[in-house]
Structure 1
Amino acid sequence: MKTALLFLLSLTAALAVPLEERKYSRYVQYTDDDGVHTIDLEAEPDMALLEEVTRNPENNQYILFTRRNPISGQTLVMNNAQSITSSNFNPAVPTVVIAHGWLSNQNTEPNPTIRAAYLSKSDVNIITVDWRSLASSGYTTAVLGVPAVGRGVGQFLTFLNQVTGAPFNRMHLIGFSLGAHVVGNAGREIGGRAARVTGLDPAGPLWSYNSNRLQASDGIYTESIHTDGGSVGGLGIGSAITDVDFFPNGGNSQPGCVTNMCNHNRAWRLFAATVTYNHLVGRQCTTTTQITWNTCRGDSFPMGNDDLNKRGSGMYRMDTARTYPY
């Protein structure tokens, strides 16, 4: 109990950054299909839920999809070897782990779209992380609990490795929004040994100065795709945080979008398209001014795709179309 309390206190410190030092006001508004929503960045977190998440990070659910079961998932259970050995999991092929964002679950995007893109392309294990028990809480609570959820994912991957021999360097961890920071912490838990860690518009509010955010050391190769990093109210973090950071269309707003949520969601839509086509190529930028004014003239580098051996560094911009495959 004492250890859990100390951990929660250290997490709470992540929210102590004065609001005037961040690009966000206290209230962040976003619009989706259900209307306008408001996030209170100073809301009191649910400490009872955080204590439970911290004490029992294995409460995450892990759902396996393969070409043998592309639609109906199989549940893999932490510390239950039979749940894995009796499933369709194949340690001889790559493993792709997908973590959803806030207010989502295993059935919501980006899970179905990214899963379909991969299974249509190649023989892989797709493991969807369902962390809805925390993701469905208030935003400040979810932010504080992300490190524990990520540690739980990392512990599960360690168990998977022990049971099946599936190597960490054949694993690709992908997360959207808050899920980007979840997979960052998962990669950290396994010592940065995952082949790739990809953040799809990593969440911005309360993460700019947060040491628990996705970072370059979380995998052998890490990348982020920034699509809603606007200086006022952007839902994405908007700054370079990984080995390679992509800024499609400048990284703040996307063609055909009129809301922050549309911009935010474009990250996983673009990524899924690159898994299929590997067609979006950025030019390296040396400054954020070049990103803004589309004057990047450096080397070319592909955004996204499913290459486990991908390596690179730097910031890149490319322009895309308004509709799929962009």
Structure 2
Amino acid sequence: MKPLLCLLFVAVYSVVAGPIDLIDGKYPRFFDYEDEEGNIHKVDLLEPVDMELLEEIQRNPANNEYHLFTRRNPNSYQRLRINDANSIRSSHFDPRHPTIVISHGWLSNMKTNLNPVIRDAYLRLKETNVIVLDWRRLALAPYPTAARGVPDIGRGLGQFLNFLHRTTGVPFNTIHLIGFSLGGHVVGNAGRYLGGRIARITSLDPAGPLWSNNDQRLRPSDAIYVEAIHTNGGVAGLGIGTPVANVDFFPNGGKSQPGCYTPICDHNRAWEFFVATVPRPNHLMGRRCANMQEVNRDNCNGPTFPLGNTYLNKRGSGIFRVNTGRRYPF
């Protein structure tokens, strides 16, 4: 499997003339990012947020779009709408099957690579309701505005899942939320809105810039079981790089990945590792570490625990290092 690019940041950070301003003591204020078409854009982490857009997002949770895929419609989605029971009842949604929700990150949408790849992996494995959240209305905004609006996107998702539960009776303990980068904090806020009743959250390299000291970031209490997979959490990394969940995996130390030569590749490895475990639940095994020093030195000696997989009743705690290969299935 070739590395697939999602929309996030560029490999090389750009510092403007003058002193370097570090945000949260770790991130340069100014840097470049590269989009899926290879276009380079400038980011200023202290850029004023677009309050008008944020207020509109707060007022209207219907800005979130929910696209359902099942084995009956694996390639063409059915749109589910909050407060529209008929859109649910007339769809192929089946509350007897597990439900997963996938949330993309910044500058992305439902077509971004991780969505169809994770979707197809689940539908090949078993009957599943796969719901792809599209929050492009905010995700296309400058990064500081998008980051500021993440809690509202998450609350909107929580409201939708509550509506889905009331409409179909789907149990919260059969729902698994999966989010990448900023989406990794979106799903945390959704689970928090529902009082931590969701079965499981998997956060794929949750975003780092503007999140180190952000009290709206992912928390261990956001679901019955919360895990995070950290792949680019070094200095100025794209991921947060610190434990934020019940179980935190640090593949290859959690900063850079074998076979990658840019931070965007390292960042995307989080969801690529996860996909590799969908058909192979014990494919990537972590070794429990006593602290981050053991993670960094690769001398963890605790019990093993599987990264990823699809188990709704997965339980565990601690930090784990996982050593992988250079290419899929790693």
Q: Does residue 244 of the first structure (1) align with residue 247 of the second (2)?
A: yes
Bigger CA drift: 265-274 or 25-34?
A: 25-34
Q: Does residue 49 of the first structure (1) align with residue 53 of the second (2)?
A: yes
What is the identity, as a one-letter code, of the residue corresponding to 1:324? Y
Q: Does residue 177 of the first structure (1) align with residue 174 of the second (2)?
A: no
What displacement does 1:58 show? 2.6
TM-score (norm 1): 0.92
What is the identity, as a one-letter code, of the residue corresponding to 2:164? L
CA distance in 2, matches of 1:304, 1:134: 28
Q: Is the 8 A contact 2:151 2:186 kept in 1?
A: yes
Q: Pairwise mapping of residues 162-311 of structure 1 onto structure 2 (< 5 A)?
A: 162-231=166-235, 233-278=236-281, 279-311=283-315
Q: Pairwise mapping of residues 304-319 of structure 1 onto structure 2 (< 5 A)?
A: 304-319=308-323
CA distance in 2, matches of 1:223, 1:38: 32
CA distance in 2, matches of 1:229, 1:57: 31
CA distance in 1, matches of 2:126, 2:43: 39
- Decide whether aligned partners of structure 1 residues 80 and 20 sit closer, same or farther in structure 2, where only a CA change above 3 A counts: closer
What is the identity percentage for the equivalent residue pairs of Structure 1 and Structure 2? 58
Bigger CA drift: 220-229 or 21-30?
A: 21-30
Q: Does residue 138 of the first structure (1) align with residue 138 of the second (2)?
A: no
Q: Does residue 23 of the first structure (1) align with residue 42 of the second (2)?
A: no
More helix by share: 1
Q: Pairwise mapping of residues 48-87 of structure 1 onto structure 2 (< 5 A)?
A: 48-87=52-91
What displacement does 1:110 show? 1.0
Count residues with an aligned counterpart: 308
Q: SS of the counterpart of 1:246?
A: strand
Q: Is the 8 A contact 1:32 1:259 kept in 2?
A: no
CA distance in 1, matches of 2:189, 2:27: 24
CA distance in 2, matches of 1:321, 1:93: 33
What displacement does 1:28 show? 3.3
What is the identity, as a one-letter code, of the residue corresponding to 1:167? P
Query: What is the aligned partner in structure 1 of residue 100 from structure 2?
Result: 96
What is the identity, as a one-letter code, of the residue corresponding to 1:290? E
Q: SS of the counterpart of 2:111?
A: coil
TM-score (norm 2): 0.91
Deviation by residue 1:69-114 (Cα, 9 ceiling, x = unmatched): 1100100001000000000000001100000000000011210110
- Out of 110, 119, 122, the residue aligned to residue 118 of structure 1 is 122
Bigger CA drift: 19-28 or 299-308?
A: 19-28
CA distance in 2, matches of 1:157, 1:112: 21
CA distance in 1, matches of 2:109, 2:157: 15
What displacement does 1:276 show? 1.6
Query: What is the aligned partner in structure 2 of residue 3 from structure 1?
Result: none
What displacement does 1:125 show? 0.3
Deviation by residue 1:129-187 (Cα, 9 ceiling, x = unmatched): 00000000000000110000100000000000000000001000000000000000000
What displacement does 1:59 show? 1.6
Q: Runs of 5+ in structure 2 lacking a partner?
A: 1-20
Query: What is the aligned partner in structure 1 of residue 12 from structure 2?
Result: none
Q: SS of the counterpart of 2:177?
A: strand
CA distance in 1, matches of 2:23, 2:142: 22
- Decide whether aligned partners of structure 1 residues 214 and 265 sit closer, same or farther in structure 2, where only a CA change above 3 A counts: same
